[in-house]
Amino acid sequence: MEPTGQQPQIKRTLGTFSIVMMVVAATAPLTVVAGTQPLVMLYAQNNSIPVYYLATGIILILFSVGFTTMSEHVPNAGAFYSYIQAGLGRRMGLGAATMALLSYTLICIAVMSYLGYSTAATITLFFPSMNIPWYVCALAWWAVIAFLGYHNIDMSSKVLGVFLVLEIAVVTVVDLAVMVRGGADGLDAAPFSPTNFLSGTPGMGLMWAFFGFIGYEATAVFRSEAKDPDRTIPRATYCAVAFIALFYGFSAWCLVMGGGSGNALAMANETQDGYVLVLATTFVGKWLADVIQCLLVTSLFACVLSLHNVAARYTYTLAGVKVLPDKLAEIHPRHCTPSNASMAISAVTFALLAVVTIIGLDPLVIYAWFANAATLGLLLLQCLTSISVIVFFRRVKSRKGVWHTVIAPAISTVALGFVTFVIITNFPALTGDNTSAIIMGILIPASFALGARLAGRMKKQRPHDYERLAGMVLAAEA
């Protein structure tokens, strides 16, 4: 407990491993391997899914070069918001902040809805007489997430660590079983053939592969709670990207081998999100398929908990610069975490869950609408961050060379811009129809415009607070 009259400080307890666990858990590895990778084959219309995941990893490593170089100069936990503001100014920064907060909140609702649906389906699978509504299951998980988010971040990291180890373990068992038994038709390198991965619609394959990495960029959001942020954040970022890319790439190759190079696409079309369950039953046994079915639920839970923590830290940072109420910037005296900010995110997610439930939206529709809108917002933020890195280091000297400050960020900007273009051009197909695409698509630029407008109002009505926006962000220019 802090002395009377002194504001409690956030506790710096997170090391590289803890942060990596939280951001990898946010990507939901088991859900990606079991649910998304078969979809990558279907959308790309080829079996080169390992290539798309490895290519995505390379692009995000290039993005991370500038991202982590910038982290040494931007001392707060605002991540995208802080970095974009540092390079492109306060209006762009605040626009990015509101867009980031909306994106993370939307994806929380999306995954929580899918979590409720998956939990209800799993209960019915094992207990056919029980038919629990999805929103009841979602509400139960919401209560657990609200409780863990309010308490010390160490508690969340330990819970996430347990579930993450279990997720990786079951996927590894399937992968090794496929390898040891030689797959369906032997092991080969057909998925890596240039003719193969350039056939079909490779842009869609790359876009869906990017979905599997959403959440890794949150390493910088935990800067205020890292033991040694200047070392921990870069290490955690590179470790998270490298691990996710290699794990997804290897698992994707094993999935193709399990179905057979010549038959994997047809099998994915037939089984879709049951693809991995079929492999588990075929190469290991029905018991492993049942275990995976249960762990898919905990995988989604770990994902929502991580995303909730990220959204809470954005809220805390914005309250610290008086964009949101001061109360949300207070630190809990015993837990030493931004508990008020966490409670605010819990309240918002509860309200949105209530709205979509009352309206009667299907949980899978909620997931399609909100997750794709959030992904678009986060990719736009990554593009703006890469541009901001280049602009920032034209003004501020760095001990790093031109590779870190210009070349790598420029390459990542082009690559991320291409993926963003693919998402925008295919947005109606991703959300389900033109109407939903327009509604959800408008939310993202509208949230950015709202933040930019808030910055303009602050400049006119609260010039002192407006000036503090830059003061809290730029350590390099102080």
CATH number for position 57 = 1.20.1740.10
Does residue 139 belong to any structural domain of this protein? yes
Helix or strand or coil: residue 226?
strand
Q: What is the mean pLDDT of the chain?
A: 87
pLDDT at 11: 63
Domain presence at residue 5: no
Contacts of 393 (CB under 8 A, 6+ apart): 69, 405, 406
User: pLDDT (tens digit, 9 = 90+) per residue, 447-461?
Assistant: 999 999 999 999 999
User: Any residues with CB less than 8 A from the CB of 37 and at least 6 apart, and which?
Assistant: 49, 212, 248, 251, 252, 255, 275, 276
Residue 438 in domain: yes
Q: Return the structure tokens found at 264.
A: 């994997």
Q: Is residue 7 part of a domain?
A: no
- For CA atoms 261, 263, 267, 268, give the dihedral sign: positive
Distance CA 71, CA 136 (A): 41
142: pLDDT strictly greater than 60 = yes
The domain tally of the chain equals: 1
Whether the CB-CB separation of 304 and 141 falls below 8 Å is answered with yes
* Burial environment of residue 3 by CB neighbours within 10 A (0 to 12, 13 to 18, 19 or more): exposed
pLDDT-derived band at 67, boundaries 50, 70, 90: confident
- Closest C-alpha among 38, 472, 2, 25 to residue 251: 38
What the block records as the tokens of 341 is 């900010």
Q: What share of the chain is helix, strand, coil (3-state, %, to 5)?
A: 80, 0, 20
Q: How confident is the model at residue 88 (pLDDT cuts 50, 70, 90)?
A: very high
pLDDT digits (tens, 9 = 90+) for 204-220: 899 889 988 887 777 77
Q: pTM for this one?
A: 0.87
Measured CA angle at 471 (ends 321, 467), to 5 deg: 70
DSSP state at residue 91:
H
Write out 344-398 in H/E/C secondary structure: HHHHHHHHHHHHHHHHCCCHHHHHHHHHHHHHHHHHHHHHHHHHHHHHHHHHCCC
Contact 65, 403 (CB under 8 A): yes
Q: Is the dihedral of CA 10, 11, 17, 18 positive or negative?
A: negative
Give 91-110 pLDDT, tens digit per residue. 999 999 899 999 999 999 99
Residue 81 lies in a domain: yes
Rg (CA), the chain: 22
Asked whether residue 48 is domain-assigned, the answer is: yes
What angle, 0 to 180 degrees and rounded to 10, lies between the N-to-C axes of helices 275-283 and 229-259?
70
323: domain range? 16-473
pLDDT of residue 476: 35
Residue 28 included in any domain? yes
pLDDT value of position 4: 42
pLDDT of the residue at 477: 37
Q: Does 73 fall in a domain?
A: yes
Backbone angles phi, psi at 39, to 5 degrees: -65, -35
**Six token digits for residue 6:** 């002194």
